[in-house]
A and B are shown apart, each in its own frame.
Chain A
Amino acid sequence: MSAIVTIETEGLAGPPPRRGFPGVTLLRSTHGLQRGMLLGGLAVITLFVAVAVLAPLLAPYGFNADRAGGVIFGTQQAPGAAHLFGTTVGGQDVLSRVLFGARTALTVIVLAVAISLVVGVPLGLVSGYFGGVLDRILVLITDALYAFPSLLLAIVVSIMISGGRSTPFGGILAAAISITVVYVPQYFRVVRNLTVSVKNEPFVESARITGARPGRIMFRHVLPNVSQTLPVLATLNASEAILTLAGLGFLGFGIEPSAAAEWGYDLNKALADATNGIWWTGVYPGVAIVLVVAGVTLVGESLNDVLNPMLRTRGGGTSTADEDEIAIAGDLDPAAGELGSGSDATPTTEDDR
């Protein structure tokens, strides 16, 4: 939740404040099952954040503890009264690791999304607005990066950060930066492409005719009209970030198991258990990943559907060109055209993770 809030406020921090609380208007503009998906997603995210924040209070044991009060838990214990979710092959409490894993995931997502935004958005804005050689080079590089499986990229960067050797600095920040490298190009590209289309809008041209300087145009005219798509992109990327983090952990390039609890790493360890029919070591962290990613994705998809005017419906059914005529006749829905030129704003919805 906090991730989304920070992003929303960041995007909206520009000059004109939206009238009314954005969340409420957003919710109003949904209906029926659509609203159900949005609310369901929000509920999951709230739960996730709550667990992440309260993990030390909720978890019965430490995430790396294999004994409590001198009593060793024992390995691969089936779920029972002492260990609700059982214990792992390393003898740790599965429940505690799942709860602490939420904390790790949240930290990494917030860091990754924040860094990606801070780096990607200004870069895209400047590159898109000025164009020229710099723009061409940056686009070339991001295109090249797109050609790699993003997980592979994250692995390479994580190795790079740890200097090619195994060091204790395999921590949360390293994981976050590895993921950032994957998403900076995405923000860059979306913001750049939008900037390129917005900068030719008449309202930007009119500012140029007036003689406004580039800085003013970029931040007063272009940025506010580009930033509307960022919440969608950030939410969708947040869910991808969790998956990338888990993938890194699963392959053994993530956070050191002693530094923090991480679901992907646990799943790797659980793989051998699965063959032997031991289900609890893998299922719980796996379900945690699915829940959180699904929750975040649901919110992102709903946002996308609601904010993308191309896909808007009123009460279901298809609509025709007559809607314009009707809209003017009834003076309904003044916000319908708000995204305006941003109709191609969300091409990366389906991008690789």
Chain B
Amino acid sequence: MTVPTPPMLSLDRLSVTFQTDGDPVRAVREVSFEVAPGEIVAIVGESGSGKSVSSRALLGLLPGTATVQGSARLDGTELTGLRGEPMRRIRGNRIAMIFQEPATSLDPVRTVGWQVVEALRSHRSLSRRAARARAVELLDLVGIPDSARRAHSYPHQLSGGQKQRVMIAIAIACEPEVIIADEPTTALDVTVQAAILELLRDLRDRLGTAIVLITHNMGVVADLADRVVVMYRGQVVEQGTAAQIFAAPAHPYTQRLLAAVPHLGQGRSHVDAQAPVPGSGTSTPALAVRDLVVEFPGRLGSPRVRAVDGVSLTIEPGRVLGLVGESGSGKTTVGRAVVGLVPAAAGTIEVFGTDLRTTSPATLRALRRRFGFVFQDPAASLNPRASVGACISEPLSVHAVGDDASRHRRVAELLEAVELPAAYATRYPHELSGGQRQRVSLARALVLAPDLLIADEPTSALDVSVQATVLALFQRLQAEMGFACLFISHDLAVIDLVADEVAVMSEGKLVEIGSTAEVLRAPAHPYTRALVAAVPVPDPAEQRERRRAAGNLA
């Protein structure tokens, strides 16, 4: 789609090698691609693909243990090997960078205005006053309301989305030719992500800045990118226009990657006829939460914070309820209250007809055998000092089920069920990959053959392809074992894949609940509508259509 203009940025067989205690690690191998002026090129890949390393190599931001070979040119200027003052004059001035974590990328002890001014004055000889005026303009440009006053705020006084806007203001301060955006929206909620992506697109259109977008999110790629570079294990496996890559991926890895991405609207919401609830109405629900209220003590002097406010939901045996919401919506708190990790201030939590809040400790202990819990962070949810076998059999020993031999057998059974070799029982959690650890977590949660599973963002910390296999495993086990499940996630596409019913939370309240098809295809509540509209789908054509629709809606 671009006329053959000379590229703004071109990488030619760029390699990065890290010196380590062991063998040197080749993080990036002979990567070549070009970026035309005003073009948005997405570099996609999963963790370990070397996508961030290659972009940092451009600006010389790698640690001293890294050696960079090959060539990277900015409008004809060679960047590799550039250090000191010449490199400094490139950074921020001609190539700017936006980082993944806006929360940690701003200096906490300086006002945001100060930091924009610093970026300006590093490259332009402006008076302090002129720089400050320009900084306010820039903050205004990136959509910070009341920018003159906000310039005096410290980073901790801004929301995550606003911080990322400040980072963008810093990036465009010196009108660079290229902006490298390293996972700019990964740490943000979907609705905020949509706004930031909109801002980036707008900046490209208005300022003609080329953008290198590093991301693992195919939806973001489909939304924004003109061209796509796919990286895998340090190498470029495929590149082409966005339309090409999504419509006809050539490389097997790209094909696998795209197949693994859950696509909102193509999961259970796609199936029109919902299977009738088995034995509905007759059996006691697996979980019945009524008017649940959870409060946390506020900061000294301030009132108590109501994290969950009057939430009611029911899960029939064998059914999966997806609980969605953005950060701070209280969805995780609901899950924690259900298993008794946080006390409920009011309401009832009935598990198989027994109210957890009023029952005796003995009954509660017995009841605990009937539910399992899977956490978000696979690294933290296993005791680092216990072997995998010990982790899985923990619930067995707690409830004194069986003897050593039978426990061993059960561990072996479950390892098989989660598709891990039986020999893994003697390994330690840190020797496993993230996906493997999450399988172990699942095995532990299921070791007592529970009737109710609570899964709190079980796949959010995983790469897309790993997430796909874990989700497939979950679906298979759920079908086989028939447990009911409260599946908590921020990702609507994942919920669409696994849940029979969906409940949507916002600011502690339940705004909508219904079958997956109803809620995701014809959302009734405005919040759900905004949420569904904000999710980028991994298909450029469809995404363009959705964007237009959302634009009309707003």
Do A and B have CB atoms closer than 8 angstroms in the complex? Answer: yes
Residues of A within 8 A of B (CB): 14-16, 29, 31, 201-213, 216, 220-221, 224-225, 314-326, 328-330, 332-335, 337-338, 340-341
Chain B residues in 8 Å Cβ range of A321: 52
Whole-angstrom distance between the Cβ of A321 and the nearest chain B Cβ: 8
A315-B20, A317-B63, A332-B22 given as contacts; is B381 within 8 A of A325 (CB)?
Answer: no
Nearest CB in chain B: distance from A327 CB, A: 9
Contact A329 B382 (CB under 8 A): no
CB distance from A199 to the nearest CB of B (A): 11
Judged by a CB distance under 8 angstroms, whether B61 is at the interface is yes
* A224 CA to B365 CA, complexed, in Å: 25
| Between-chain CB contacts (< 8 Å), 12 pairs | A15-B386, A16-B385, A202-B381, A209-B372, A210-B368, A211-B368, A314-B19, A322-B53, A325-B27, A330-B20, A330-B23, A337-B379
A333 and B65 CA atoms in complex are apart in Å by 16
In the assembled complex, how far is the CB of residue A145 from the closest CB belonging to chain B, in whole angstroms? 25
- Residue B157 CB within 8 A of the other chain: no
Residues of B within 8 A of A (CB): 18-23, 25, 27, 47-50, 52-53, 56, 61-65, 233-234, 339-341, 364-365, 368-369, 371-373, 375-377, 379-387, 390-391, 394-395, 398-399, 428, 430-431, 433, 441, 444
Q: How far apart are the CA atoms of A54 and B18 in the complex, in Å?
A: 49
Beyond A14-B385, A315-B19: 14 further Cβ-contacts under 8 Å?
A: A31-B21, A203-B380, A204-B383, A205-B341, A205-B373, A208-B341, A209-B372, A212-B398, A315-B65, A317-B63, A321-B52, A328-B433, A330-B27, A332-B25
- Across the interface, name the chain A residue whose C-beta is closest to B380: A202
Cα distance A324–B63 when bound, in Å?
13
A330 touches B25 (CB 8 A): yes
Return chain A residues, CB-CB under 8 Å to B391.
Answer: 203
Whether A324 lies near B47 (C-beta < 8 A) is: yes
Residues of B within 8 A of A225 (CB): 383-385
Complex contact B385–A328 (CB within 8 A): no
Residues B48 and A211 in contact, CB atoms below 8 Å apart: no
Nearest opposing residue in chain A for B45, CB measure: A325
Report the minimal beta-carbon distance from A46 to chain B, rounded to whole angstroms: 26
Q: Which residues of A contact B20 (CB under 8 A)?
A: 314-315, 330, 332-333
Q: Is the CB of A334 within 8 A of B47?
A: no
Is the CB–CB distance between B430 and A337 below 8 Å?
yes
A203→B382 contact, CB < 8 A: yes
Contacts of B380 in A (CB 8 A): 201-203, 340-341
Contact of B399 among A209, A211, A337 (CB under 8 A): A211
Partner of A210, one of B64, B382, B398: B398
Q: A16-B387, A210-B398 are in contact. Are A325 and B47 (CB under 8 A)?
A: yes
- Taken together as a complex, chains A and B put the C-alpha atoms of A209 and B450 apart, in Å, by 12
Contacts of B234 in A (CB 8 A): 329
**How long is the Cα–Cα vector from A226 to B151 in the complex, in angstroms?**
43
A221 vs B386: C-alpha distance in the bound complex, in angstroms? Answer: 8
Are B27's CB and A329's CB within 8 A?
yes
A319 to B233: give the CA distance in the assembly, Å.
20
Knowing A14-B385, A208-B341, A316-B64 are in contact, say whether A335-B430 is a contact too (CB < 8 A): yes
- A329 vs B234: C-alpha distance when bound (angstroms): 8
Bound together, the chains give a CA A31 to CA B387 distance in angstroms of 29
Contacts of B340 in A (CB 8 A): 208-209
Best-surrounded residue of A204, A318, A328 (most CB of chain B within 10 A): A328
Contacts of A224 in B (CB 8 A): 383, 385-386
**Nearest opposing residue in chain B for A336, CB measure:** B430
Beta-carbon nearest neighbor of B182 in chain A: A321
Complex-state Cα separation, A210 to B453, whole angstroms? 12
- Nearest to A228 among chain B residues (CB) is B385
B78 CB to nearest A CB, Å: 22
In the complex, the answer to whether A320 meets B62 with C-beta atoms within 8 Å is: yes
What are the 3 tightest A-B residue pairs by CB atom distance, in nearest-first order? A317-B64, A330-B25, A211-B368
CA distance A319 to B399 in the complex (A): 45
A224 to chain B: closest residue by CB: B385
Is A340 in contact with B379, judged by CB distance below 8 angstroms?
Answer: yes
Chain B residue at minimal CB-CB distance from A18: B385
B21 contacts A211, C-beta separation under 8 Å: no
Given contacts A320-B63, A325-B50, whether A338 and B384 have CB atoms under 8 Å apart is yes
Q: How far is the CA of A53 from the CA of B399 in the complex (A)?
A: 50
The answer for the CA separation of A317 and B52 in the assembled complex, in Å, is: 19
Q: Is the CB of B48 within 8 A of A328?
A: yes
